[in-house]
């Protein structure tokens, strides 16, 4: 992690296309301007965390739905030799 101190009107340049400028400092708040290409997504951290949680839930639901539709019936007891050890592997956390 890189930690920098900046004053009003000083900039940070990320890559060749993203420029962050300190516009105003008032107490414990700063105002930034971000100049970036349209294809670069810029979000506040708390929104990104909320969105990631939502995406994780949606992905988990999709995986569960797919796994239910893909489940194969268990082999008949007579088709599994008694001397084999079986191991189940969970594809998601059990909690």
Residue 10: pLDDT over 80: yes
pLDDT class of 19 with cuts at 50, 70, 90: very high
pLDDT recorded at residue 43? 81
% of the chain with per-residue pLDDT over 90: 37
Show the 3-state SS of the chain.
CCCCCCCCCCEEEECCCEEEEEEEEECCEEEEEEECCCCCCCCCHHHHHHHHHHHHHHHHHHHHHHHHHHCCCCCCHHHCCCCCCCCCCCCCCCC
- 39 versus 88: the higher-pLDDT residue is 39
- The model's pTM: 0.49
pLDDT recorded at residue 57? 73
């Amino acid at each position: 992690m890189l930690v920098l101190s900046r004053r009003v009107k000083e900039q940070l340049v990320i890559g060749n296309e993203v420029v962050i400028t300190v516009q105003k400092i008032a107490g414990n708040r700063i105002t930034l301007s971000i100049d970036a290409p349209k294809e670069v997504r810029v979000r506040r951290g708390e929104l990104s965390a909320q969105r990631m949680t939502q995406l994780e839930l949606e992905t988990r639901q999709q995986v569960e739905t797919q796994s239910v539709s893909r489940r194969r019936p268990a082999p008949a007891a007579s088709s599994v030799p008694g001397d084999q050890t079986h191991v189940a592997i969970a594809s998601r956390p059990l909690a």
